[in-house]
A = this chain, B = another copy of it.
């Protein structure tokens, strides 16, 4: 029914399209550039740095299965590399932060033995220098490395390419920036940035290095399809979480629940492997550091707030205060999301428009404020006498100078006193959390100190959120949550007067509740909390608290990452269609938008004027068969058209299809050019200059189109269309008129094809049940064929 030349065109198209990088698989497994007239300044196409080797691809297409095996091996090897790389990056960041912070605190402590004012100045100055270095790196060198990076990665894996987030400079900026910002004592964490770091490492590996810095190797350039790259980035995210929290299972679940939009079980397996590697790398580094080779860095460098020797059991009376913690977490979390949203949007619209200088000043001011508060407030607090010594618990009061531990002696008149506010405020965040979680330290904190800390730190966290440094929200969230959790715990201890209740347990639940109320994660957060506290006993309690806090939070606002993604203009597609879509059809969704179709053989001048006058990213291609019937033969991408225009090698003088011109190979194009060049925003139509002779020539789009994009009939319910688009990760769907006939019906059994077998012998040979069934179906087909009565109704399509 299709004429021969059309068929040939299709054959070529299929062959060629599958060779164009980022095309076929991209189209059905995980991509979606912002199409048509979108494109805010922050949402740009990602610049891939792959140069394709045409001959190599030709070869690989012939090798077939062998190549599949090879690429599987490479994928696993890359998962290994991502694990090692992310693990090492995490170790480096941890060692640096621990050493800077440790040096800072020990210097300050030694100075305040003489003068508190001098110590104060030194403390402020060191923090300022560290924060300045961080914000300087970010503003001058790697602007995309600011913030946590998780919303952007989430967007990338949802199918939105955001310019600059996965560059080599972003990686460098992220690593060094977070050393400065975390070491400088700001109210932010290094965990979100580590996730981004893992993603950057994965993406750079997937590109085979960075072109700009001449760090590219041919043997690494295996991943040409967008899907493979996004899989790698998923691995990188999991590795980041695994490294940040030493929580390998939590990492896998984080990648699954929070980050990815498309998930396949094969990928789970690979992500799992990456996480395991990270765990091994981090553990080795910690073993190596235990001998003191890493300065201040020791077993305390990685987050493990071990509470496995804490509360043994819980009674049912405790469930009510725990539920209260959940509610508080939901409320404070939702409030946090809302406040940070206002902050960030105000910053974007007013403050940060004034240039980098303002950003630097802002970060420095916040650093000074943070230093003043964290040093000054404990000064105002009266010291408490040490509790009666309990030799069993092994907790000294006051702690020996320069060591980690509870009961900081700070601005106290007597030796046997400690300052409870300094214990949490004038400390690294890791140590503060360890103190808040600590068991066997009932009555360490006064309610007044905890409340002061809660209010001040909450405010600092809100204000700090959004400044131009790498910033994670995990650790601040845990700080906030564990503070009010411990407050509730204090109340419970006083009210129930039981001996086996530990305030530290409530602090843990508070931390979980705040994170649940803010980030709205469930399973992954739960597992992360269990892994970082090394205590499985409280799993059901953590679950309970998370359920409540997420439910409460959901009643008010969206999750932190979703809100931030919205704000940054990352158009995330949620997993579920909106209720409104049930009443809409596909045609209505397209609205008044005009479809610009191209003929197969098109004049260059027409291509140029079409590309100039609209911003669509995909164009249907239409051809006529010999009997004059119009047929949609495929989809051509703007980026491919631009490449064709630029290279000019496929221009032809005659308006006839290329495959009719003779037997020679019609594609005189190097496929490498279809990949966007490194570190740029891709070609623009304004970059291309054509002579008037060129403009009069023609292009045959046949070989360069995607011959079978997904289609939907015009009156299909939009929620169905949404599912199709979202589940398969598409960029374009054609809305077409209803078909006039059905050629075939594909059902489950048509898809039960085994590799390497004939399609009729699908089932297992050893079972007679299957054999019987096959006979039956043959019988059925025979009876069908024997019934001429039905001929009028049977629509046979074997033409």
Contact = CB atoms under 8 A, between A and B. Distances in A.
Interface in A408-428: none
A477 B342 CA distance: 55
Contacts of A593: 744-745, 750, 781
B735 A736 contact: no
Contacts of A579: 64-65, 68, 755
A606 B743 contact: no
A369 B250 CA distance: 45
Given A723-B28, A743-B714, A793-B598, A265 B257 contact: yes
Given A527-B527, A610-B793, A740 B629 contact: yes
A691 interface: no
A273 interface: yes
B272 A547 contact: yes
A268 B733 contact: no
Contact of A713 (B571, B576, B592, B708): B708
A746 interface: yes
B248 A540 contact: yes
A627 interface: no
Interface string A716-741: 11101111111110011111111111
Nearest to A574: B265
B573 A750 contact: no
A748 B159 contact: yes
Contact of A708 (B573, B613, B716): B716
Contacts of A783: 613-614
Contacts of A748: 32, 34-35, 38, 159-160, 571, 573, 725, 731
Interface string A244-259: 0000110011001100
Given A276-B540, A576-B266, A614-B784, A590 B720 contact: no
A452 interface: no
Contacts of A550: 269
Contacts of A522: 268-269, 272
A695 interface: no
Contacts of A773: 38-40, 569
Interface in A528-585: 530-531, 534, 536-537, 539-540, 543-544, 547, 550, 566-569, 571, 573, 575-576, 578-581, 584
A345 B756 contact: no
A308 to B, nearest CB: 8
A742 B632 contact: yes
Interface stretch (A177-185, A645-653, A675-683, A760-768): A760-768
Contact of A596 (B14, B543, B794): B794
Nearest to A717: B708
A613 B756 CA distance: 33
Contacts of A64: 579
Interface string A746-762: 11111111111001000
A517 interface: no
Contact of A523 (B252, B283, B630): B252
Interface string A1-30: 110000000100010000000001000110
B737 A769 contact: no
Nearest to A265: B575
Most buried by B among A707, A750, A768: A750
Interface in A606-633: 606, 609-610, 613-618, 620, 622, 629-633
B764 A37 contact: no
A37 to B, nearest CB: 4
A444 to B, nearest CB: 26
A724 B732 contact: no
Contacts of A568: 769
A742 B37 contact: no
Contacts of A753: 578, 580-581, 584, 589
Contacts of A613: 783-784, 787, 790
A772 B42 CA distance: 12
B744 A586 contact: yes
A780 interface: yes
Contacts of A629: 740
Interface in A299-349: 308, 316, 341-342, 345, 348-349
Contacts of A716: 708
A385 interface: no
A266 B795 contact: no
A744 B523 contact: no
B769 A569 contact: yes
A587 interface: yes
A236 B42 CA distance: 44
Contacts of A738: 2, 631-633
B40 A596 contact: no
A91 to B, nearest CB: 15
6 contacts: A29-B723, A34-B749, A39-B776, A591-B744, A630-B740, A708-B717
Which A-B residue pairs are the 5 nearest by beta carbons?
A590-B744, A35-B747, A736-B739, A37-B777, A276-B543
